[in-house]
Chains A and B, each alone.
Chain A
Amino acid sequence: MTEKVKVRIDGEVIAATAGQTILEVARTNNKYIPALCYMEGLSTVGACRLCMVEVSGVSRLLPACTTPIQEGLAVATTSPQLESYRKMALELLFAERNHVCAVCVSSGHCELQTLAQEHGVTSVRYPYSYPRLSVDTTHPRFVLDHNRCILCSRCVRTCAEVEGAHVWDVAGRGVGSRLVSELQRPWGESTSCTSCGKCVQACPTGAMAEKGWAVEEMTKRRAAVSRLTSMREGE
């Protein structure tokens, strides 16, 4: 039984189905909310904090990707406060790792870069932490560059939920968090990896890429992963 609810997004009255999240309702109605860790077809984690929205009657900001819709909810997807927070979140992502667009395979096709351009991030106000990070080139077809990873965990969820292999997970915590395959084995020596490459397609940045591409050449087919899950729904 699907219950219909009415909500307001940026003043416009929209009919939605109970159980949907604010982000899903907004996207299906052509209302734009930025997001990095959200991907259609995957579970939601609310990690990137870019989809924060204002909900009337709630004093704090709520992540649109994990907040279920409710009857009579009034959502503002943009405001000066939200803009400043989103910009801050982006700048902190850049400060946390060594993101150098000029030498990145995904430059021009990178979701982080695109969002930074959209939000007018021309400089980073915070000190860069310049962590010493490795690049895993052990896989015959793919490469993992921790310098470009934003820990959105899309690859983790894609591998666990779509492929069912669960090769990836995030180890450690806080600023020491790192993406690991199995028991911190090199990717190429992983026994559960099927080399399907869906994690690479799901990655929003150049952290995961196919080998053999030069700067700006790595384009990704992110929609393919989402389409796969929507096609399976009827089964």
Chain B
Amino acid sequence: MSTGVVTAVPRVDDQDLIDRIIGDHAGRPGALLGILDKLQDANRYKYLPMETLEYVATRTGIPQAQVYSVATFFTLFNLDPQGTHTVAICRGTACHTRGSRALLERVKLQLGVGEAVDGAGKTTMTTADRRFTIRTVACFGQCALAPVVEVDHAIRGHVKEQVLIREVETLRKGGAR
């Protein structure tokens, strides 16, 4: 997780984008959530850089601590650059009993990433080449399909180790997006 003093400011065209998104939400209660969501979506690496958070705080008048609090409370907000492909493995009870830990360990081994738990207690790991991000999810609400894995926002049920490995391998060979 990024820490330390933020001195960098977003690039000028980024500033324009942020200003526009803030303008769309101006005056609405609870606007921060929508603003952060849109900004993360617009970011190339699907994350919220510290300078963006600082700029949002300055432009909206929302205290920096509050912006940070919201950005870290919701696990779908990322403070670190994300990989091109996302593999989200469910670690809920049903999926756990159906062997989701083995799936997670296997994919970690395949992509060569170590354990990483950030301050907010969520597990996300991104490969050094930023092509893959592995994350764990508490529950997809699809327990009948356990174990459940989400690959690039498509939910897969009854996932077997070999099937998942093949799928990840296909994505890996697919070249950079």
Binding site for B on A (CB under 8 A): 156, 160, 165-176, 178, 180-186, 189, 192
Contacts and interface: CB of A to CB of B under 8 A. Distances in A.
B120 A166 contact: no
A192 B62 CA distance: 12
Contact of A169 (B1, B63, B119): B63
A183 B63 contact: no
Given A178-B119, A184-B3, A185-B4, A171 B68 contact: yes
Contacts of A184: 1, 3, 68, 119
Given A172-B120, A175-B121, A183 B54 contact: yes
A72 to B, nearest CB: 35
Contact of A192 (B3, B63, B68): B63
Contact of A182 (B1, B65, B120): B65
Contacts of A186: 4-5
Contacts, number: 66
Given A173-B121, A180-B65, A183-B64, 19 more contacts: A166-B66, A167-B65, A169-B66, A169-B69, A170-B69, A172-B72, A172-B120, A173-B73, A176-B119, A176-B122, A180-B69, A182-B64, A182-B65, A182-B68, A183-B54, A183-B68, A184-B119, A185-B4, A185-B6
Contact of B53 (A160, A181, A183, A189): A183
A172 B67 contact: no
Contacts of A189: 5
B120 A169 contact: no
B8 to A, nearest CB: 12
Contact of A171 (B6, B50, B54, B73): B73
A168 B65 contact: yes
Nearest to B6: A183
Interface residues of B, number: 22
Contacts of B3: 184
Q: Residue among B50, B53, B65, B69 with the most chain A CB within 10 A?
A: B65
Contact of A172 (B4, B5, B63, B121): B121
A176 B53 CA distance: 21
A170 B1 CA distance: 16
Q: Residue among B5, B57, B68, B119 with the most chain A CB within 10 A?
A: B68
A166 B72 contact: no
Nearest to A191: B64
B45 to A, nearest CB: 18
A183 B6 CA distance: 8
Contacts of B73: 171-173
A182 B57 CA distance: 10
Contacts of A168: 65
18 contacts: A165-B63, A166-B63, A169-B63, A169-B66, A171-B68, A171-B73, A171-B119, A172-B72, A178-B119, A181-B65, A182-B63, A182-B68, A183-B50, A183-B53, A183-B54, A184-B119, A185-B6, A192-B64
Contacts of B53: 183
Contacts of A173: 72-73, 120-121
B121 A169 contact: no
